Structure 1
Amino acid sequence: MSSISSVAGGGDFALTSSQMGVFLGHELSDLPQVYNGSDYWLIRGRVDVPCFKRAVCRVVAEASSLHIRLYRECHEVRQTLEPQEDFDLEFIDFSNAPEPLAMAREHMFGDTEQACDLFVSPLFKFTLICLSANEFIFYQRYHHIVQDGLGSHLIIHRLAEVYSSLLVNQVPTPGSFGPFEELVAADIAYRNSAKFERDREYWTSRFQDVPEPLSLARKEAPLAGTCRYRKAFSSGVVTLLHELPEKLGFNFSQLLIALTCMYLYKMTGQQEVVVGLPVTGRVGKSQRNIPGLMSNILPIRLSILPKHNLQDVLSKVRREVKATLLHQQYRYEDILRDLNLLATQQELFKATVNIERFGRTPLFGEAVASPNNIANGPAKDLNIFFFCDDATENIVLGMDANSLLYDESQLESYADGLQGLFTRVLNNPQSPVGLFNLLSPQEAQRALLEPNQTSCELPRLTLPELFEAQVERTPEALALGHGDEQLTYRQLNDRVNRMAHLLVELEVSRGDGVGVSLSRSTSMLVALLAIAKVGATYIPMDPYYPQERLNTIVEVAKPVLMLVERSGRYRPARGVRCCALDDARVQEWLSCLSSQKKTSNDWRWARCGLCTVYLGLYRDAQGRGHSPWLPE
């Protein structure tokens, strides 16, 4: 059982387990600003600015998590609560600007990208912005070490309540926020409890085999800046999303999770779908009314097969979410530690699915406020959000992504594809997921037709000329790689030219056939390009073909020369001219030849003529070899 000391008296205590995770992430990151979370509320209606400032000052005094100050003591990071005396709300007037909202957004997004010093209080910022006499913005930014998403929602609703009371000269009802110390005490009690051990047993059993993390990027990258994309769902999709849960017997959040997992399954083909699900980490009504950081992100694991329909996936989601909520206090970092994944920096999931429901609309007097998300903390890979305004029933799809893995155009494409799949599944909930196409019929038609609209005037250039033109354009660009060997276009061309000189000295002429029985290597591609440069035809002869098959090819195609390897399996028949490219004498010979190209006449291929570059053979019913390019 984990042993953690109890909360010290006088408001002085250690960080909670969730705070410690954020602290370590912040301190180790080159971009600590990714641990900022922010949003803004657009208030439509008149706002009494002095009254609003008094309301903010009162709410700040009530929310003890906003009083947190971190300090170091004997190599330990601790925290104390220092009340914010006479908190001064920042007020900015953009009403005279040409585009007030654009100016306000630029200011807020810029502020969100500012890194916090964790040892300098306050670790949050509130700003009231005037857009016009009847339109204002309340902007709130928190470092995650003092606030999570639930806490910020508690703040905005309490602020609306206090402002509305002060506006009509009434004394606000007493604040209902519980003290932050209660969350700290609950964290310590949990980690010293038998439930902590039961939760550990559940998670280690659930992930005793570690599935491959699902990612649309299909590659790794360190934590970096965040690329963000937001798009409102169409009214048709919103209507279906609100109507279908009741018909199917599931709730709204379960439906969104199930549909998103179906999309990720279709995009990746991975039947083991593991996504991160943010949870509040709070148990009991009391804890759910305390601003601060307690949230957690935990893995939910689904096995999806092509035969499963929406109802099947929903049943799996309901079971997983129920079990996750029962064990939601157990930290994700502890799961990784228990599974010995921390040392290798492995993850159980890369994509997360977060449903944010804003609840009732905050009313500031008679002015109505609507939510707008900006930032949600770090995005290691891809975080998918559904911002649901229950008052208007609008749903905004958000994607926060690691900027080293995704760009905005990719996120836009994913958002369109996700909304498209949602529409098709919601309209056909009984159909198996394997039957759904990620593309709409119109998109599928474009994908089939547009790439094949290839009618255009082609340059009358030979293969060697096309290759040499590329050499001139990008001489130092990587052209070829095999194993540890890499060649630029210039280096590749030098080797091709030497090989072409060798072929000429071996009396290979335009139109001659040259057999190529080489293993896959840079030498094989060099040989093919050199044969094309001298105007000859290469005859592919896989060294792993049966000897009889190779002898038949030689008999039918009659190559003037065979390029082979001494180490290869092919053993030429008597009388067949061969050049073993891995022979030391041949290598020495090649090194003495020029890497410069000759004229086309010297290499016997004509600029405007056509010649066969490749000669392939097929077998008839009797097993005899034939080629359409050779006379019978």
Structure 2
Amino acid sequence: MPGQETDRRPLSAAQLGVWYAQRLDPASPVFNQGGHVDLHGPIDVPLFAEALSRLVAEDGTTRLRFTEAGGVPAQFAAAVEPYVPEIADLRDTPDPEAAARELIDADMATVPDLEQGPLFRHLLLRLGEDRLRWYYRAHHLMQDGFSGHLLQRRLGEIYTALAGGTESGPALGPVSALLDQHDVYRDSAARKKDRAFWSRVMEGAECPPARAGRPALRIAREISFISSEQFAALREFGVRAGVSWQQVLIGAGVLHQHRRTGARDVLLSLPVTGRLTPAARRVPGMSANVLPLRVAVDPDATCEALMARVASAVLRVQWHQRYDASELIRDLGWPADGRRQFGPVVNVLAGDAPPRFGGVPGTAHLLSTGGTAEDLGITVTDGPDGGLRVDFTVDAAYADSVPLASHRRSFHRVLDTLTGDADVPVREVDVLDGVEWGLVVEEWNNTAVPIGQETLNTLFEHQARIHPDHTAVIFNDEHTTYRRLNENANRLAHHLTHCAGIRRGDLIGVLHDRSTTFATTLIALTKTGAAYTVLDPDFPDTRLNTTLTRNHITTVITDTNHTHRITAPHLIHTDHDTHHHNHPAT
């Protein structure tokens, strides 16, 4: 990319998502990605700093800056400036490890200026006479997770060459080459083939429901480890199933999702690099993509057979990995809310040979992949002592609805099954430990509640009588009492019975945005004696109408936002504001 600030280029599809998410919360550091590499051995620190300076000079992403031109996000390359890495000598501190963690944590919490930069940082921490920690951080707009691995290997090449007085090999490719490839792909026959492929793969797939509320853009995390012994057993299982151990871990994610939800049509989100050519794999930049992994699960099949099916699906995704996820979501007609993915994320980043610096091997530790999501994330990296580390993450706003500790336990139970007996059927994989088994099977199924002949309707009315001024529903900033909710439900039930002709036993569709009116509608229907089925507004129109047809539903209660989406002969409209006692109108 030319080094003039006037040479602006549009953001790639991968960058746009990060740009708008950062704009949503400018103070969030969640898009900082990075980690550190620990070196135990005779490292020449000044020479290592020189190698870092040369690495930054090669890495065109370090000069990237981001701005808006006429309201459109753009990027440009700032002028080239010499880079001198920072060195912090912590050898004389009481606890060098704690001091290093404090420096790193503080830096990972900073948010760089996207327009002025720099958007990255390298820091050399001296922890002992033969202990050096190289810490690096980069904003996700400039680099993806693959770039971090690429830079580790390249720094090892440069340092080793400087130490030995040899050539360091081919330099990193220019970031402009990566952007040029994206431009060429946008109008290529390959993109049309990829679009047709994803259209076939995703035909009939159900849109995952969005989680309530805005994301916090902060990470909640649970960490666990796979021992070297269990890792060896996983590799043995992969040999038995005819797949790689990385594919076994992805397959474990599919199996975990199936056994926890019962879904036979499993959708996961699979991160990919967006790079297909060898030349592209020597270019740091932001090219990552997240695409759906869709697997049909047969409960009677063996786990080995399921892994073979997963491996085949993973290979197909990799061959069509450049088609942008946001474009695919638009093709599917799913809500383009900027957050939604395809399901839980399984990201296997382990397995690369550790970088070497002269004769000293480096041990890499990933701190952040530079993003967040509303669904569960399972990230596998290299762990200590030849094992693996598994991070379970979710946006902090959804930590209550995505219990990470429970997912951690059940995922490891899946791994235990895979490394146990051979040819275990999928249906026999148990994801519940003793505590959760008792909760689900005994406590939640204990329905012996002394309610006599009471119905849901009379129970609600009883609550409205004894606690009329208690809050029954909270929606955004609105608090509705039991008295008001009951009055509004009575009014609506009267209208449904005497004006709309709804009778006991009728099946009514309810297509409504989440609101107090939605709750009022459901309670009103219980008062009429009718049954109801809730139609999710996030579903495509075709699925809504198919549901109506298959269930012979001819009457739908909806709001004005969705009237045009369905073809039911009888539509009953509700007003959004039930607090003003507005009567619904047919």
Shorter-chain TM-score above 0.5: yes
**In the alignment, what sits opposite 1:400?**
393
How far 1:226 moved relative to its partner? 0.7
Q: 1:25 aligns with which of 16, 21, 24?
A: 21
- Residue 263 of structure 1 and its aligned partner are, at CA, apart by 0.8
TM-aligned CA deviation for residue 296 of structure 1: 0.7
- Provide the secondary structure at the position in 2 that maps to 1:202: helix
**Residue in structure 1 matching 2:377, options 383, 389, 392:** 383
What one-letter code is carried by the residue in structure 2 that aligns with 1:56? L
SS of aligned partner of 1:374: strand
Q: Is the 8 A contact 1:69 1:80 kept in 2?
A: yes
Render the CA deviation track for 1:509-536: whole Å, top value 9, x for unaligned.
xxxxxxxxxxx99xxxxxxxxxxxxxxx
Change (3 A) 1:121 1:172: farther
Match of 1:192 among 187, 200, 206: 187
Deviations 1:171-190 (A, max 9, x none): 44244311111111111111
AA matched with 1:425: L
Matches within 5 A, 1:37-186: 37-82=33-78, 84-168=80-164, 170-186=165-181
Structure-2 residue corresponding to 1:511: none
- 1:453-485 Cα distance to aligned partner (Å, 9 max, x none): xxxxxxxxxxxxxxxxxxxxx99865799xx99
Question: Aligned pair 1:266/2:262, yes or no?
Answer: no
Q: Structure 1 residue 435 and structure 2 residue 432: aligned?
A: no
What's the counterpart of residue 329 of structure 1?
322
Given that residues 259 and 310 in structure 1 are in contact (C-alpha distance below 8 angstroms), is that contact kept between their aligned partners in structure 2?
no
Instruction: Give the conservation status (yes or no) of the 8 Å contact 2:8–2:76.
Output: yes
Cα separation, 2, equivalents of 1:29 and 1:485: 27
* Structure 1, 53-62 or 443-452: larger mean CA deviation: 443-452
- 1:363-512 correspondence runs (5 A): 363-381=356-374, 382-388=376-382, 393-406=386-399, 410-440=403-433, 478=471
The 1-side partners of 2:289 and 2:414 are apart by 29
1:331–1:475 CA distance, 2 compared to 1 (3 A):
same
Equivalence for 1:353: 346
Does the 8 Å CA contact 2:468/2:481 hold for their aligned counterparts? no
The answer to which of 68-77 and 40-49 deviates more is: 68-77
Q: RMSD of aligned C-alpha atoms?
A: 3.7
Structure whose alpha-carbon radius of gyration is higher: 1
The residue that corresponds to 1:285 in the other structure is 278
The letter for the 1-side match of 2:60 is S
Structure 1 pair 220–192 and aligned structure 2 pair: CA distance change class (3 A): same
Aligned residue-pair number: 469
Instruction: Please report how far the alpha carbon of residue 447 of structure 1 lies from its aligned counterpart in structure 2 after TM superposition.
Output: 8.6
Q: Which amino acid aligns with 2:180?
A: A
* CA deviation after TM superposition for structure 1 residue 331, in Å: 0.6
Q: Is the 8 A contact 2:237 2:418 kept in 1?
A: no
8 A contact 2:272–2:321 mirrored in 1? yes
Moved more, 90-99 or 347-356: 90-99
Q: Secondary structure at the match of 1:427?
A: coil
1:276-316 deviations in whole A, cap 9, x for unaligned?
10111011111111111111110111122422321232132
Percent sequence identity is 26
Query: SS in structure 2 opposite 1:189?
Result: helix
Q: CA deviation at 1:449?
A: 9.7
Give the letter aligned to residue 135 of structure 2: Y
What do residues 357-414 of structure 1 show as CA deviations (whole Å, max 9, x unaligned)? Answer: 251222223333211111112222221111136x964211112211111169932332
Q: Secondary structure at the match of 2:354?
A: coil
CA contact (8 A) 1:274 1:348 kept: no
2:156 and 2:266 mapped to 1: Cα distance? 41
Q: Is the 8 A contact 1:277 1:353 kept in 2?
A: yes
Code of the residue aligned with 1:384 in structure 2: it is I
- Bigger shift: 206-215 or 303-312? 206-215
Q: Report if the CA contact (8 A) 1:60-1:84 is conserved.
A: no
1:227–1:408 CA contact under 8 A, matched in 2: no
The answer as to whether partners of 1:341 and 1:347 remain within 8 angstroms in 2 is: no
Q: 1:79 to 1:171 in 2, by over 3 A?
A: farther
TM-fit CA distance, 1:486: 5.8
Distance 1:142-1:429 versus aligned 2 partners, 3 A rule: farther
8 Å Cα contact 2:3-2:80 kept in structure 1: no
Query: Cα distance 1:114–1:10, how it changes in 2: closer, same or farther (>3 A)?
Result: closer
Q: Is the 8 A contact 2:85 2:122 kept in 1?
A: yes
Q: What amino acid is aligned across from residue 179 of structure 1 in structure 2?
A: P
Cα deviation, 1:236-287, whole Å, max 9, x if unaligned, reads: 4212112221222111121111111111111122222111101110111111
Q: After TM superposition, what 4+ stretches of structure 1 lie above 6 angstroms from structure 2?
A: 7-11, 445-452, 474-477
Residue type of the partner of 1:311? E
Shift of 1:90: 1.6
What is aligned with 2:242? 249
1:335 offset after TM fit, Å?
A: 0.7
Residue 167 of structure 1 deviates from its aligned partner by: 3.1
Alpha-carbon distance in 2 for matches of 1:380, 1:409: 11
Residue aligning to 2:204: 209
Query: 1:193 and 1:447 mapped to 2: Cα distance?
Result: 52
The alignment partner of 2:311 has SS state of: helix
Amino acid in the other structure paired with 1:87: Y
Question: Following the alignment from structure 1 to structure 2, what is the Cα–Cα distance between the partners of residues 128 and 322?
Answer: 39
Q: Look up the SS of the partner of 2:127 in the other structure.
A: strand
2:227 & 2:71 partners in 1: Cα distance?
Answer: 53
Contact 2:39 2:361 in 1 (8 A): yes
Deviation digits for residues 42-96 of structure 1 (CA, Å, limit 9, x no counterpart): 2212432211111100111111122223344444443333354220212222323
After superposition, the Cα gap between the structure-2 partners of 1:235 and 1:359, relative to the gap in structure 1 and judged at 3 Å, is: closer
- Would the aligned equivalents of 2:339 and 2:373 in 1 still touch at CA under 8 Å? no
Extract unaligned runs of 5+ from structure 2.
446-466, 491-503, 506-526, 530-586
Distance 2:528 2:80 in 1: 80
Q: Is the 8 A contact 2:28 2:217 kept in 1?
A: no
Q: Distance in 2 between matches of 1:23 and 1:320?
A: 30
Q: Relative to 1, partners in 2 of residues 1:110 and 1:305: Cα closer, same or farther, differing over 3 Å?
A: farther
Q: Is the 8 A contact 2:51 2:159 kept in 1?
A: yes
CA 1:23–1:180: 2 relative to 1, 3 Å: same
Amino acid of the structure 2 residue aligned with 1:204: S
- Provide the rounded CA distance (Å) in 1 between the counterparts of 2:528 and 2:390: 58
Deviation at 1:119, TM superposition (A): 0.5
Q: Is this contact kept in 1: 2:234–2:418, CA < 8 A?
A: no
**CA offsets per residue over residues 567-598 of structure 1, 9 Å max, x none?**
999xxxxxxxxxxxxxxxxxxxxxxxxxxxxx
